[in-house]
Amino acid sequence: MDQAQKQALQVTKEIVVKFIEVGRISPNNCHEFFSQIYHEVLRTIVSGQESESGSLESEEKSE
């Protein structure tokens, strides 16, 4: 499991726990939402890392 996956898993756990606390989902059906939330968080992390590396490359080219 790479760093992005570990980050996504941790964030997803926190989100699901918070949703359970506020009553948006129940512990009985959290498995229905966990995968969807995880994949969205992972996609966001990976696209953010790609954006950072792309901006670093463009800064290096402009120098």
Residue 49 has pLDDT above 60, yes or no: yes
Instruction: Tell me the domain boundaries of the chain.
Output: 3-48
CA angle 6, 12, 17 (to 5 degrees): 130
What is the torsional sign of CA 17, 21, 27, 44? negative
Q: pLDDT tens-digit profile of 21-37?
A: 999 999 999 989 999 99
Residue 38 DSSP label: H
Residue 19 has pLDDT above 70, yes or no: yes
Q: How far is CA 38 from the centre of its chain?
A: 6
User: What is the pTM assigned to this prediction?
Assistant: 0.74
